[in-house]
């Protein structure tokens, strides 16, 4: 999946600073680089079945191991600072090293601090590299799903191949001479600076993957099954989908087939339409990250992109109204579909920026226009129910969330997904239950009598 935008990320609570988002849910990283790496996963959904399954297996593998000893937040901050120091010429001896440092006033406090940083960093890089080598060697597997670990091992060994084993022992014990510090400072910070950065990136990847593995332990999440192409009528199947951010969330089964790849979801406010769209969208998005999803089981085809329009607002900087932003959003989708992209689309209460009649006509026209794109999935929610008899004649799947009216208990929101159209008129029912009109008429009569 290569197509995703800021609106979609915000609507699915992937990256939303106002509330707890998906990244927060999966973030148990130790290092700042690990968190940045985890963040990059969420911004770059995977586009092939092999990539997705590789990451799934890596996360499962990380549940069986412990890399905590390799992760130190403050150590990595120091090492990043160390690698950012400017490159310097090679010093063959301690005397030459000090002569070259004269211009830097090597007797100053700043130089002494720098020397301490260099010596500590040489020790820590040796420790990290050796630790990674031992870990990756123990994890070697001919299975293609762990091939990335073998690639990591090659990169780490590339650094180690130029380190004398006897000298490495001294570096690891942090008891080494000034000559060894000068030698390996030059090796790490000059000759193999890029290779050392790759070692850091490997560590950050492991931190991010280990974070996901830790966060999902004991949680009701499952790794989905991925289909590279649409081989049969099933496009998405989710058993027991639920929302990550709602405690005790109601679970729903979702079956989307190719012949009815457009859902028209109806219901009044507060019935849970937006939450359901976000729930399904989150499952599809997480599946394309190679992450587990909040469900009992899931199977999905791959999409080229995901597009959500749930909390769209005005654009004050351009002067665009809410309705005009909706029009531009639909236009963007139209271009993607016309170019052959297979999209997963969520649209919540479209065209609410115009009058009801105009919105009805626009919604019907949009639904008819989307029907021909059988390799995409469209989930649309709306208050507009009068067009449902027309939609029922086509291949549109009519869905609603069950709501029950009780004179004693009031409105009971079940949040259960059902086939059909929402028929309840909650607005009038609430107004009558609260005796709004009765109070108005009674007040009118009393004023007349006085």
80 lies in the same domain as 170: yes
Based on the fold, state whether residues 291 and 342 are members of the same structural domain. yes
Last residue of a domain, one of 190, 215, 240: 215
Q: Which among 215, 248, 270 is the end of a domain?
A: 215
Q: Is the pLDDT of residue 315 over 70?
A: no
What is the band of 43 on the pLDDT scale with cuts at 50, 70, 90?
A: very high
Same domain for 72 and 184? yes
- Indicate whether 26 belongs to any domain: no
Whether residue 425 lies inside any domain: the answer is yes
Q: What is the pLDDT of residue 112?
A: 77
Specify if 424 maps to a domain.
Answer: yes
The verdict on residue 21 lying in a domain is no
In a domain, 10, yes or no: no
Q: What is the pLDDT of residues 136-160, one digit of tens each?
A: 988 876 565 678 888 999 999 999 9
pLDDT at 71 over 70: yes
* Same-domain pairing of 191 and 311: no
Q: Do residue 182 and residue 301 come from a single domain?
A: no
Q: Indicate if 267 and 309 belong to the same structural domain.
A: yes
Highest mean pLDDT among 72-81, 242-251, 288-297, 313-322 belongs to: 288-297
Is residue 283 domain-shared with residue 319, that is, in the same domain? yes
- Predicted local confidence at residue 1, as pLDDT: 61
The 10s digit of each residue's pLDDT in 106-129 is 555 667 788 888 899 999 999 999
How many domains does the chain fold into?
2
What's the pLDDT tens digit per position in 10-36? 999 998 666 678 999 999 999 999 999
Domain with residue 269: its CATH number is 3.40.50.300
Domain match, 264 and 400 both = yes
- The range of the structural domain enclosing residue 132 comes to 64-215
Q: Which residue has the higher pLDDT, 222 or 446?
A: 222
Do 269 and 387 fall into the same domain?
yes
DSSP for 328-359? HHHHHHHHHHHTT--EEEEEESTTTTS-HHHH
Task: Tell me, yes or no, whether 269 and 188 share the same domain.
Answer: no
User: Are 253 and 394 in a shared domain?
Assistant: yes
| Helix, strand or coil, per DSSP, at residue 63 | coil
- Asked whether residue 316 carries a pLDDT value surpassing 50, the answer given is no
Establish if 41 belongs to a structural domain. no
Question: pLDDT tens digits for 397-424?
Answer: 999 998 887 777 777 888 999 999 987 7
Residues 211, 229 share a domain? no
Q: Using H for helix, E for strand and C for coil, what is the string for 240-285?
A: EECCCCCCCCCCEEEEEEHHHCEEEEECCCCCCHHHHHHHHHHHHH
Cα–Cα distance for residue pair 189/90, rounded to 1 Å: 11
Sign of CA dihedral 318, 324, 330, 335: negative
What's residue 314's pLDDT?
52
Domain contains 431: yes
For residue 50, tell me if it sits in a domain: no
Who's near 139: CB < 8 A, 6+ residues apart?
A: 61, 65, 146, 149
Q: Residue 105: what pLDDT?
A: 53
User: What letter would DSSP give residue 320?
Assistant: B
* 163, 184 contact by CB (below 8 A): yes
Domain boundary among 188, 215, 242: 215
Res 215 pLDDT > 70: yes
């Amino acid at each position: 999946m290569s197509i995703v935008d800021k609106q979609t990320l915000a609507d699915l609570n992937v990256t939303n600073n106002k509330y707890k988002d998906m990244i927060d849910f999966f973030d148990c990283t130790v290092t700042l680089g690990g968190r940045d790496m985890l963040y990059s996963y969420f911004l770059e959904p995977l586009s092939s079945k092999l990539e997705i399954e590789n990451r799934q297996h890596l996360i499962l593998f990380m549940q069986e191991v412990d890399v905590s000893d390799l992760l130190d937040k403050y150590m990595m901050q120091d090492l990043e600072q160390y690698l950012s120091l400017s490159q310097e010429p090679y010093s063959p001896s301690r005397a030459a090293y000090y002569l070259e440092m004269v211009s830097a006033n090597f007797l100053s406090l700043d130089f002494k601090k720098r020397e301490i940083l260099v010596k500590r960093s040489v020790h820590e890089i040796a420790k990290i590299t050796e630790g990674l080598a031992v870990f990756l060697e123990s994890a070697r597997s001919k299975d293609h799903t762990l091939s990335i670990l073998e690639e990591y091992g090659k990169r780490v060994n590339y650094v180690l191949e130029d380190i004398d084993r006897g000298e490495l022992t001294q570096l690891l014990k942090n008891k080494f001479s000034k000559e060894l510090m000068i030698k390996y400072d030059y090796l790490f910070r000059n000759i193999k600076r890029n290779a050392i950065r790759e070692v850091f990136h490997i560590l950050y990847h492991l931190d991010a993957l280990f974070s996901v593995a830790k966060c999902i332990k004991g949680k009701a999440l499952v790794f989905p099954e991925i289909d590279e192409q649409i081989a049969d009528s099933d496009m998405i199947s989710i058993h027991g989908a639920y929302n990550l951010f709602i405690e005790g969330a109601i679970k729903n089964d979702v079956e989307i087939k190719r012949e009815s790849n457009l859902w028209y979801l109806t219901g009044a406010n507060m019935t849970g339409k937006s939450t359901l769209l976000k729930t399904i969208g989150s499952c599809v998005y997480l599946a394309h990250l190679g992450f587990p999803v909040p469900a009992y089981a899931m199977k999905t085809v791959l999409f080229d992109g995901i597009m959500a329009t749930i909390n769209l607002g005005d654009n004050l900087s351009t002067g665009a109204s809410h309705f005009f932003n909706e029009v531009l959003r639909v236009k963007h989708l139209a271009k993607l579909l016309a170019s052959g992209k297979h999209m997963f689309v969520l649209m919540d209460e479209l065209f609410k920026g115009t009058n009801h009649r105009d919105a009805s006509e626009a919604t019907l026209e949009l639904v008819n226009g989307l029907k021909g794109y059988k390799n995409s999935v469209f989930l649309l929610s709306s208050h507009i129910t009068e067009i449902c008899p027309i939609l029922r004649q086509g291949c549109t799947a009519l869905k609603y969330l069950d709501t029950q009216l009780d004179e004693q208990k009031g409105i009971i929101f079940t949040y259960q997904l059902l086939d059909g159209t929402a028929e309840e008129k909650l607005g009038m029912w609430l107004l009558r239950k609260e005796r709004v009109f009765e109070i108005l008429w009674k007040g009118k009569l009393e004023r007349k009598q006085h």
